[in-house]
Structure 1
Amino acid sequence: MRTADSSQPPARNPQDPAATVETTADTHPERSRPRPRSTTAILVLACAAQFMVILDVTIVNVALPAMRAELHLDAAGQQWIVNAYTLGFAGLLLLGGRTADLVGNRRAFLAGVTAFTLASLAGGLADGGGPLVAARAVQGVGGAFLAPATLALLMRTFTDPASRARAMGAWSVVTAAGGAVGAVVGGVLTEYAGWRWVLFVNVPIGAALLTAALLYVPAAGGGRGGARRLDLPGALTATAGLTALVHGTIASETHGWDSPHVWVPAGAGALLLAAFVVVESRVAHPLVPLAILRHRGLAVANPLVMAMSGAGFSMWFLLSLHLQQNLGFSAVRAGLCFVPGSLGIIAGAGIATRLVARTGPRPLIVAGMTLGTAGFVWLSRISAGGSYAGEVAGPFVLTSLGFGLALMPAMVAATGGTDPAEAGLASGILNTSRQVGGALGLAVLATVASHTTAARLAWRPHELQRALTAGYGRALLTAAAFTACAALGALALPGRRGKAPLRHHS
């Protein structure tokens, strides 16, 4: 009688389409998981890629006047340089996240970096508004595949709770600080090198990322079953629904909320997303298995991330306008004023990284969003005759510290207990919440600011700066309501004892 050898892998049915993938991962673990000495390189690689994606959300903003002047754009064309990127990015994040699970992190990462880099080169060479907007849209598509792949790569590489917390802390710092750094870098490049370099700068970065990915990202380690399991009906309805919803939200910045330009695409987006839920409940291999939404951390944390992003994105936008329009700062000087906020985010994320393994995410999110609420209330008291040091710096740093304290724990809560095979999907849902929350929040707060300003001007038409400041202050006070809701909502997260353990996989 032959005794079973526990070192041998279990028998697999050769007809099983997942057998090939799973056998490769089991019999060649060195191909599916990085060696310890490469984990630092993977952390740097993932953070650098995420930084490039987030940087491009804001780096173009300060270059818009120069782009408009050289390419002879109208106001709508100028707006679409920003909106095309947002649409491509937010609309395809779920598909990008699932693709990382199905074809592997390495392929998704390489595809995303390649598309982003080539689109950046094309945008820098654009000779008109149309080619530039098209390049920005492709950049967004590349970012939609790249961003989930970076977070999924970290989740699969760092399986120990302490090391994962440190890795996600670094990732969250890069994510939060990228927007502020983009304002500084964009101002410097536009002023001293020309607007085209806000796009050209991605080309050498992308080439370096491609080289590093080929060297350090494991060739295996994807999902189950390959690309033939991609849920095309789900992908189409999710992508079209998110794109329509974000498009309608963006349109509210130039049209009223009761305009057909807003409610027609927003309504269509809502119907398509409802159809997406129906499709996912019926197909054999859904793009988003509805069972994943039963994970309490993911279900609770994503609305929190939406509220946090809506307030955080708006803060950078509103303060940038206040510094330049009311305080008369140049683009470069305004960008430099965001550096203390970046340092506050880094400090908060550092504290969270040290504490999250002991406390769990819930108390850190509550504390961070409480600080954020206090900071927004303080910021809402800005005045037309005030100063950066006297009215902005203190509450700005306090608010940024709160965001740094809460962001990484929110990511841990959303992704920590999910199946490793669905890491890309979980990160895609999380990134979608961030982008859609940011777009919705900015649209709501921009509308609050514009309506308040218009009402003030109708009363005192010669006090433009006071009216603008009143609008920004009211919008910042509304942002405080967002963060207060996030602090209260975090109480619904499981406590440390109720938290699903991080799964270790070999």
Structure 2
Amino acid sequence: MTKDPRTAVRDGAGTTLAAVAVVQFMVSLDLSVVNVGLPEIAAGLGFGAVGLTWVIHAYALTFGGLLLLGGKAADRHGHKRVLLLGLGLFGLASFAGGFAQEPGHLVAARAAQGIGAAALAPAALALLAATFPGGRARVRAFGVWSAMNAAGGAFGVLAGGLLTEYAGWRWVMFVNVPMALCALALAQRGVAAAPPVDRGGRPDIAGAVLATVGMTLLVFGVVRTDQYGWTSPATMTTLSVAALLLGAFVHVERTTAREPLVRPGLIARRAVAGANLCNLLLGAAMAAAFYFVSLYVQRVLGKGPALTGLMFLPFALGVIVGAFVAVRLAQRLAPRTLLVPGTLLTAAGFAWFGLISPDGSFAVDVLGPSVVAGVGFGLCLGPLVSVATVGVAPGEAGTASGLLTSSRQIGASLGLAALGTAADHRTGDTVTPATLNDGYALGLTLSAALLTVAALIALTVLRGTRPAASGPAPEPGPALTGTAEQAR
């Protein structure tokens, strides 16, 4: 007798979780692994000061701009198939980037990495949501996912520092290859090839183009504010065009006779909207904090790349502890009950970071706030993802996952640009350890303020949400019952 594909997916739950964990760790690591090595990359390939920023921006543009399209592709063509294609592209781009001989080669490789990540990230998260539809297993699965998500970013700084100092900057690209191969092997052998869950209707090509170009321009305009400023004609024109395109996208999604890229009813659900807004603020705060703390340790305290990376280890360990605590508590508490203290604890850690001083010490200015912020971050990540995806029909799992990942990425770009600009204004024209410290402290304090707003959203918008109940995933359809109603 032929085995039902959904049963096969559940039978391979452990392998699916392992594959998704490796994927999420890799994607998160790649967002931060190159940061510490940028000076050596500039020297090795001859980057100018402006051109060097595109090593970061090329990845952010393609990743953030294509996530919604990647999520829809996963729903239409099968989560496993899109995951494998994304992993293959990501691994090949990483391998090619390690052999870059001039700036354009590395920027192109980073852009290709972003395209691969935009395909594999929502496909992996959709697989996780489908494989663990409810109960204790879902809580544990998202606890593992949240730990890998944050630990990848923190260990990326550590790996980037160690690899740059002791193996050379090219290894910040090569390090992705074995992880991609490992995830490919796990997914190929252990994840069931279930059929696509979204076959109906003609695809909304116009909506896909408008969303992709609009989001790409939004990220592009934001990341260039370090060159042109928020009020410059170039920035205002880019952001205005992005706003027009995204407004047109919303109109098309509401009126199209084709199958929309994002069903308006999905975004209208309180749980989805609230979780994505929290996620955007969380991404903004975390990206800015990693940036400011890394620069504070190197440019104010005068530490080297490898030691800087090691100093981020307590944060990663704190995230793992927080994720474990969330798993233990989530069976008895609603997601909001974990989200509120989690975001507030992270905000407290960032507020502590905001007290940094030019003659600070590791124990007081880095270790203490890292542990507090790390535990808080780990405590809220899993419940946040669970709220955003619980009760979503299988045919929209990839879309919901892409939307969640996209909100984090857009938040990171917006937050880093806005808070970076504020920090630069505080620093002023006279660059000394003291003025740099003042700028970084302001940026970290503003990050704490963003997280306080996220806690208020969790307290109000997400009120009434409940953990996912045990049972099979809901069938596709306009009306969802059970866990879907609980999450509204």
TM beyond 0.5? yes
**Matching residue of 1:124:** 98
Residue pairs, 1:473-492, within 5 angstroms: 473-492=441-460
1:255 matched residue in structure 2: 228
In 2, Cα distance between equivalents of 1:184 and 1:390: 20
For 2:271 and 2:112, the matched residues in 1 are separated by: 32
- In the alignment, does 2:340 pair up with 1:366? yes
Q: Distance in 2 between matches of 1:197 and 1:61?
A: 13
Contact 2:133 2:390 in 1 (8 A): no
Q: CA deviation at 1:413?
A: 1.2
What SS does the aligned partner of 2:331 have?
helix
* Distance in 1, Cα, partners of 2:444 & 2:386: 27
Amino acid at match of 2:255: R
Stretch deviating more after TM superposition (263-272 or 197-206): 197-206
In 2, Cα distance between the equivalents of 1:120 and 1:348? 31
Structure 2 equivalent of residue 355 of structure 1: 329
Aligned length: 473
Counterparts in 2 of 1:80 and 1:33: CA distance versus 1, 3 Å: farther
Partner of 1:216: 190
Change (3 A) 1:281 1:400: same
Alignment partner of 1:383 is 2:357: yes
Per-residue CA distance 1:437-483 (angstroms, 9 max, x = gap): 111111111111100011xx5xxx4x711111111111111111101
Return 161-170 or 60-69, whichever deviates more. Answer: 60-69
Shift of 1:258: 0.9
Task: State the one-letter code of the partner of 1:107.
Answer: R
| Structure 2 residue aligned with 1:4 | none
Q: Which of 285, 292, 307 is the aligned partner of 2:259?
A: 285
Q: How far apart, in 1, do the equivalents of 2:390 and 2:114 lie?
A: 27
Please give the TM-score of this superposition, normalised by the length of structure 1. 0.90
Aligned match for 1:300, one of 268, 274, 277 = 274
Match status 1:232 vs 2:200 = no
| Distance in 1 (alpha carbons) for counterparts of 2:177 and 2:467 | 42
Q: Give 1:482's aligned amino acid.
A: L
Cα deviation for residue 255 of structure 1 reads: 2.2
Distance in 2, matches of 1:94 and 1:207, equals 25
How many angstroms does 1:246 deviate by?
0.5
Partner of 1:113: 87
Counterpart Cα distance in 2 of 1:92 and 1:126: 24
User: By how many angstroms is 1:265 displaced?
Assistant: 1.4
Residue 125 (structure 1) shift: 1.5
Residue equivalent to 1:242: 215
- 1:101-500 → structure 2 map (5 Å cutoff): 101-225=75-199, 229-283=202-256, 284-454=258-428, 461=430, 464-495=432-463
Residue 3 (structure 1) aligns with: none
Distance 1:436 1:502 in 2: 33
Contact 2:45 2:101 in 1 (8 A): yes
Asked if structure 2 preserves the Cα contact closer than 8 Å seen for 1:300 and 1:492, the reply is no
Q: Decide whether the 8 Å contact of 1:416 with 1:502 is kept in 2.
A: no
How far is 1:497 from its partner?
A: 6.5
Aligned position for 2:14: 40
TM-aligned CA deviation for residue 118 of structure 1: 1.1
- Quick one: structure 1 residues 120 and 33, their matched pair in 2 at CA, closer, same or farther if it must change by over 3 Å? farther
Unaligned residue ranges in structure 2 (runs of 5+): 476-488
- What is the one-letter code of the residue matched to 1:472? Y
Matches within 5 A, 1:92-107: 92-107=66-81
Deviations for 1:269-307, whole angstroms, at most 9, x for unmatched residues? Answer: 111100100111122200101011122110111111111
Does the 8 Å contact 1:302/1:430 carry over to 2? yes
CA shift for structure 1 position 28: 4.8
TM-score, normalised with respect to structure 2: 0.93
Q: Following superposition of structure 1 onto structure 2, how do residues 46-61 of structure 1 map, counting pairs within 5 Å?
A: 46-61=20-35
Q: Give distance in 1, aligned partners of 2:285 and 2:352.
A: 14
Aligned twin of 1:23: none
- Rounded Cα–Cα distance in structure 1 between residues aligned with 2:141 and 2:203: 29
* 2:4 aligned counterpart, secondary structure: helix
CA-atom RMSD in angstroms? 1.8
Gap change, CA 1:498 and 1:66, over 3 Å in 2: closer
- Name whichever of 185-194 and 245-254 sits farther off: 185-194
Match of 2:486 in 1: none
Residue in 2 that maps onto 1:20: none
Which residue identity lines up with residue 270 of structure 1 in the other structure?
A
Q: Secondary structure at the match of 1:34?
A: helix
Larger Rg belongs to = 1
Structure 1: distance between partners of 2:186 and 2:458: 38
**Aligned with 1:224: secondary structure?**
coil
Which has the higher mean CA deviation after the structures are superposed, 464-473 or 417-426? 417-426
Shift of residue 216, structure 1, vs aligned partner: 1.3
Distance 1:367 1:257 in 2: 34
In the alignment, what sits opposite 2:481? none
Contact 1:110 1:210 in 2 (8 A): yes
- Which letter maps to 2:408? R
Three-state SS of the structure 2 residue aligned to 1:92 is helix
**Using a 3 Å threshold, how does the CA distance of structure 1 residues 312 and 373 change in structure 2: closer, same or farther?**
same
Find the aligned partners of 1:319 and 1:126 in 2 and give their Cα distance.
29
Q: Distance in 2 between matches of 1:397 and 1:37?
A: 37
Q: Cα offset for 1:160? A: 2.8
Alignment partners' CA distance in 1, 2:3 and 2:403: 28
Shift of 1:500: 7.4
1:67 aligns to 2:41 (yes or no): yes
How many angstroms apart in 2 are the aligned matches of 1:503 and 1:156?
A: 11
CA distance in 1, matches of 2:183, 2:346: 34
Letter in 1 for 2:443: A
